[in-house]
Amino acid sequence: MESSHDNQDQHTNDLPARLSVEDVDVDFLPIIYDIIRGLEKDPHESSQKPSHSQDISQKVLELHKKLELAKEQIKRLPGVEYSKEQQLDKLEALRTQLKLKRDLLLKYRTMCTFDIPKA
Amino acid sequence: MTRAASNMSTGEKLLAIIEDISLISKEIIENTIAMKHQKLLGAEQVLLTELLVLKDNELKETLKLAAEQAEINQKMDLLRAEVDKLDQDIQNLQRQLKEAEQILATAIYQAKQKLQSINRANKRPVSSEDLIKFAHRISSSNAVSAPLTWQPGDPRRPYPTDIDMRVGFLGRLSDMPLNGHMLQQPNSLGDMHRTGHHPEPPASQQNQFAWHPSGEIHMSVGQGTVPMDTRNHTKDNEDVEVMSSDSSSSSSSDSQ
């Protein structure tokens, strides 16, 4: 739990403009496991130990926070606004555009041969 | 929650998976609490757990995809920058071409005008000798510039005299019916040229009002500088003789 806290703090403290995928914290399973284990460990006396149930609800809250944080981070990931196919299409379109523009420039450059009209 | 993945963006897919994980974990936790109280043994729970693991794997896969897409995105950024650069180049080039076109168009227009005037000049040539004679006649009476030795009191004119003014176009405006035709510069040139070839009778009459006789008059009036005057006088006279053999400039205006 301590380590996950540290992780969260690190993410909220320095927010780079462009996140990389490695920065996204998606380790949900350990927390879920912790929660389930906490619930199963003490099936009968959970009501009598307020600190224990508090601990569990704390973890549920943490899980929730972590999920929300992951969502926020994903929204800031670069290049995920398209599916990969769409993205590749757009890449191809850009390449075509670049080629066309290069051709146009080349055309302009070779065009400048003037015919001198006979007076 | 498994939607058609092909139309969804990777970001939406990731968000959906996280949403799924959130729902599944909530379900599992609720189930666990329910099981705790009712002692239910859930095959459902097992299924949910498997689904959770599946979703987790899917999330990791999709994140890998997102990493690839981030790389592609970087490439696209580079391409975009290059496209922008080319765009600017093209715009610059087009602007320069436009400027060049304008300059060339102006040059061609001017060249055509020049050709026209050359053609016009070729049709009606004026001999350089004639030009020089006229120039001599105009300058010999000091009407254009004062003589080198001129000083205040010197009767030779660094300025047009009354008679000169009267003989000129402006003086004639009052006592001659004019057609505006005559006032135009190129026409008067043409007149000069024409009269150069056909000297007309009024020329001799006009001589008394022409440059040289007037100069003579003034010289005779200013007595203080006689020696200088006589020298110029004789020189002027020579000029007069040369010039009066041709038509005078005033006669050219008369011919109209």
Q: Which of B40, B219, B32 is nearest to A56 (CA)?
A: B32
What pLDDT, on the 0 to 100 scale, is given for residue B1? 42
Helix axes A29-41, A50-75, angle to 10 degrees: 160
CB within 8 Å: A21 and B56: no
* Cα(B13)–Cα(B7) distance, integer angstroms: 10
Instruction: Nearest by CB to B70, from A78, A85, A105: name it.
Output: A78
Contacts of B82 in chain A (CB under 8 A): 98
* Cα(B34)–Cα(A61) distance, integer angstroms: 19
What pLDDT, on the 0 to 100 scale, is given for residue A36? 84
B153 Rama sector, left if φ>0, alpha if ψ -120 to 50, beta otherwise? left
Contact B155, B225 (CB under 8 A): yes
Residue B214: is it exposed, middle or buried by C-beta count within 10 angstroms (0-12/13-18/19+)? buried
* Cα(B177)–Cα(B43) distance, integer angstroms: 126
CB within 8 Å: B72 and A87: yes
Interface of B with A in 84-103 (CB under 8 A): 86-87, 89-90, 93, 97
What pLDDT, on the 0 to 100 scale, is given for residue B46? 86
Please, what is the average pLDDT of chain B?
71
CB within 8 Å: A24 and B22: no
Q: Is the ipTM of this complex over 0.85?
A: no
Contacts of B89 in chain A (CB under 8 A): 105
How far is B75 from chain A, CA to nearest CA, in Å? 8
**What is the chain A residue with the closest CA to B6?**
A83
Q: Can you give the length of chain A in residues?
A: 119
Buried b / exposed e over A58-95, threshold 16 CB at 10 Å, is ebbebbeebbebbbebbeebbbbebbbebbeebbeebe
CB within 8 Å: A39 and B74: no
How far is A55 from chain B, CA to nearest CA, in Å? 14
* Cα(B11)–Cα(B124) distance, integer angstroms: 85
CB within 8 Å: B73 and A28: no
Mean per-residue pLDDT for A90-116? 85
What pLDDT, on the 0 to 100 scale, is given for residue A113? 66
Q: Give per-residue pLDDT as tens, B60-94.
A: 999 999 999 999 999 999 999 999 999 999 999 89
What pLDDT, on the 0 to 100 scale, is given for residue A49? 63
Angle at B247 between CA B228 and CA B125, to 5 degrees: 115
What pLDDT, on the 0 to 100 scale, is given for residue A117? 61
Site from B15, B22, B49 to mutate, A interface, most A CB atoms within 10 angstroms? B22
* Cα(A13)–Cα(A97) distance, integer angstroms: 41
One-letter amino acid for residue B18 of the chain = I
Q: Give per-residue pLDDT as tens, A3-56.
A: 444 444 444 444 556 678 888 888 888 888 888 888 877 655 545 566 777 888
CB within 8 Å: B9 and A80: yes
CB within 8 Å: A101 and B86: yes
What pLDDT, on the 0 to 100 scale, is given for residue A112? 61
- Residue B109: CA count within 13 A, CB half-sphere: 6
**Tokens encoding B184:** 């135009």
Contacts 24+ apart (CB under 8 A), B27-35: B28/A32, B28/A36, B28/B52, B29/A32, B29/A35, B29/A36, B29/A39, B29/A60, B32/A36, B32/A39, B32/A40, B33/A39
- Residue B8: CA count within 13 A, CB half-sphere: 15
What pLDDT, on the 0 to 100 scale, is given for residue A52? 78
What pLDDT, on the 0 to 100 scale, is given for residue B39? 60
CB within 8 Å: A79 and B6: no
What pLDDT, on the 0 to 100 scale, is given for residue B119? 94
Q: Give per-residue pLDDT as tens, B3-41.
A: 455 678 889 999 999 999 999 998 888 888 887 777 656
Please identify every stretch of chain B with a pLDDT value under 50, giving residue numbers as ranges.
1-3, 181-256
The neighbour count for residue B56, using CB atoms within 10 Å, is 19
Contacts of A67 in chain B (CB under 8 A): 18, 21-22
Contacts of A98 in chain B (CB under 8 A): 79, 82-83, 86
Please give the model's pTM, rounded to 2 decimal places. Answer: 0.53
